[in-house]
Amino acid sequence: QKEVEQDPGPLSVPEGAIVSLNCTYSNSAFQYFMWYRQYSRKGPELLMYTYSSGNKEDGRFTAQVDKSSKYISLFIRDSQPSDSATYLCAMSGAGGTSYGKLTFGQGTILTVHP
């Protein structure tokens, strides 16, 4: 079993839809949770960053972490064609050298069509 599970999709939605992306994990040591967006042949771009459980909102993006269920989500409101990319969840332990050693999900390919 992988430490981080993410449905690779692909996921196709119409413009304006609400997108829900999810990851589950098995390592209870993970304390930091991130969502990255990756365009084809480019490095990942940080979208959201959350420490421990809770919700965080930034513009059209909302990240949720439920540590009791080992489940994290990213919601994209009013999706745009420019949101079409691969979305990667990533996690890290806390403290010292653990922070920054990210374990990634497989990535979900999202296409938002006009």
Partner 1 sequence: GAVVSQHPSRVICKSGTSVKIECRSLDFQATTMFWYRQFPKQSLMLMATSNEGSKATYEQGVEKDKFLINHASLTLSTLTVTSAHPEDSSFYICSARRIGVNGNTIYFGEGSWLTVV
Residues that bind partner 1 (CB under 8 A): 6, 8, 34, 36, 41-46, 49, 51, 88, 90, 92, 97, 99-107
* Least distance to partner 1, CB of residue 13, Å: 20
As a whole number of angstroms, the distance between CA 37 and CA 30 comes to 20
Q: 60 is written with which tokens?
A: 């059209």
Q: Which residue's CB is nearer to partner 1, number 14 or number 43?
A: 43
For partner 1, the closer of residues 17 and 70 by Cβ is 70
Q: Which is nearer to partner 1, 29 or 46 (CB)?
A: 46
In Å, what is the CA distance from 87 to each residue of 28, 79, 97? 22, 13, 25
Q: How far is the CB of 6 from partner 1 (least distance, A)?
A: 8
Q: E-assigned strands of the chain?
A: 4-6, 11-14, 19-25, 30-38, 45-51, 54-58, 61-66, 71-76, 85-93, 103-104, 108-113
β-bridge pairing 11-14 and 108-113: parallel
Task: Rank residues 5 and 73 by Cβ distance to partner 1 and give the closer one.
Answer: 5
- Smallest gap from Cβ 60 to partner 1, in A, equals 21
Q: Least distance in Å: CB of 114 to partner 1?
A: 25
